[in-house]
Chains A and B, each alone.
Chain A
């Protein structure tokens, strides 16, 4: 078994392939989490197609392929941003047009090129075994930049993705962040260009993150699971392709798809259970007569002025039944741990200083109010 795993990596070019597979297996799922949550799968697909134009132009003028692909991705993002700002066309329509234009430009340039070693299928399906040290360094640098950006901005990304209105209110520059996401997608497409090829780069972007989405409910665990799935598919797919003598890019994509299907099958019962409504909560705290049925539409309403006894009881002790009893021992335990954690936090050395900080902040705030 160990030999089966290590055998493929005896040669230099396979070790390089393994390294780039690991880079892709970490970067793409992390970016993919945001692609899945922001529903940008189609944008990712389109970005990958558009990079062909960049690759072709880079070849034509002898520039770096990675730089060309990155530039094409940014052009694509800019075009989408500009055109969809005029609100008559939906985003996906604009993406479809821009994608096909850039892809067609790439195909035309490459097919007319007479330079040796330019082969369309290299870019369509990947060329992981031709990765050299320069490519490796460049891609690693891009990956570090992208992962660093996400590490710094993840809380803002979360806020903007969940509730863009609130994000704008608390001072997050939403358009700028949307552009950052475009750049991140562009970077991960470029990095995966050599591994799985541009036709299948969206596989590494979307599939591991989607698998994690099925299995988790928290953003941190979702990211961790996505990276695990991504690494398993990239490294596993590469190893499979060596033993099966199959194209590496397609094998990686298929491995990711296999893991997704397994997660999908495993979560079917859970999802069915989840869709059922919660059991009814006992409510014996208030007689229904004290508030009329909501949504009574008859008007003009002939209603007597409210009296004091019409008012809803205000004190907590009027509510004898606890609304949400602990349903399971695990929940009860978790809540207990939560309380213990919080209380310990308050007794830790420096608690007084922290409370003072809080008080000061509130005082500043009160000052502002009285102004």
Chain B
């Protein structure tokens, strides 16, 4: 299968099964270079699973094509960067911001080598791009929620990731920092990076994103927020009714 040159991310019939349940059911969508996409859905809808599947961190059926390469199981997994939720990050860990970002250089830097100037430049430039250049030597525990997200984005930039998958990046971030992050996302999208943000904040989606995926195990809606977040699809996404289009695997899981 060849992908159109304008496609950064092509997800085709993606299904993820965890023991005893189906986390993602037959999800298909594509995203072009420089697209900024919000992913909404209730807790347990599979937002994190979708991101981990794209990043090659969970076994899948179906296909994920990144930058024209089927790199899900290949060596090139690093071109999609999964940014963990803040709750999953141990802020007391003795790590400086610079060391955190340097971890993104691993695909280019053998573990036993000292960081070369090119690595140090990449780290400095990545931190510059997210406005954290003066925090290089600070411990990560000194960062606020928004700054931590920016540092994680810097790690993805140092890794030269093309597709950024931000899990709950805007949760628990205050107003000015939210603005900063959204500005940063816009800036990165303009340089051609494709950014997917999982969020619970529907109002924010409507105002600041051009495209929105509504997810509840299956993909419910995909499009501009005013269409993807209309009353019907919100009912299907958040309602108590069973998700539409129950697949055979869903029924098996429910029966078992």
**Given contact pairs A305-B226, A354-B117, A286 touches B106 in the complex (Cβ within 8 A):** no
A303 at the interface (CB under 8 A from B): yes
A266 at the interface (CB under 8 A from B): no
Q: Which of B33, B124, B208 contacts A312 (CB 8 A)?
A: B208
Contact: B182 with A171, CB < 8 Å? no
Nearest A residue to B170 via CB reads: A294
Nearest B residue to A166 via CB reads: B103
Contact: A170 with B94, CB < 8 Å? no
In the assembled complex, which residues on chain B have CB atoms less than 8 Å from the CB atom of A156? 106, 111
**Given contact pairs A169-B56, A286-B179, A162 touches B67 in the complex (Cβ within 8 A):** no
**Given contact pairs A169-B57, A312-B182, A219 touches B99 in the complex (Cβ within 8 A):** yes
A165 at the interface (CB under 8 A from B): yes
Contact: B202 with A170, CB < 8 Å? no
**Given contact pairs A166-B155, A170-B78, A294-B203, A153 touches B118 in the complex (Cβ within 8 A):** no
Number of chain B interface residues as a range: 35 or more
Binds B, one of A54-62, A188-196, A361-369: A361-369
Task: Write the B99-124 contact mask toward A (1 if CB under 8 angstroms, else 0).
Answer: 11011101110011000111011101
**Given contact pairs A283-B175, A311-B208, A300 touches B160 in the complex (Cβ within 8 A):** no
Task: Write the A254-294 contact mask toward B (1 if CB under 8 angstroms, else 0).
Answer: 00000000000000000000000010000101101001101
Contact: A358 with B118, CB < 8 Å? yes
Contact: A286 with B175, CB < 8 Å? yes
B207 at the interface (CB under 8 A from A): yes
**Given contact pairs A299-B238, A306-B207, A368-B67, A166 touches B175 in the complex (Cβ within 8 A):** no
Interface residues of A (CB under 8 A from B): 37, 152-153, 155-156, 158-159, 161-163, 165-172, 213, 216-219, 222, 278, 283, 285-286, 288, 291-292, 294-296, 299-301, 303, 305-306, 310-314, 319, 323, 334-335, 338-339, 342, 345, 350, 354-355, 357-358, 361-362, 365, 368-371
Task: Write the B137-177 contact mask toward A (1 if CB under 8 angstroms, else 0).
Answer: 10101001000000000010001101000000010001110
In the assembled complex, which residues on chain A have CB atoms less than 8 Å from the CB atom of B159? 170
Q: How far is the CA of A288 from the CA of B107 in the complex (A)?
A: 42
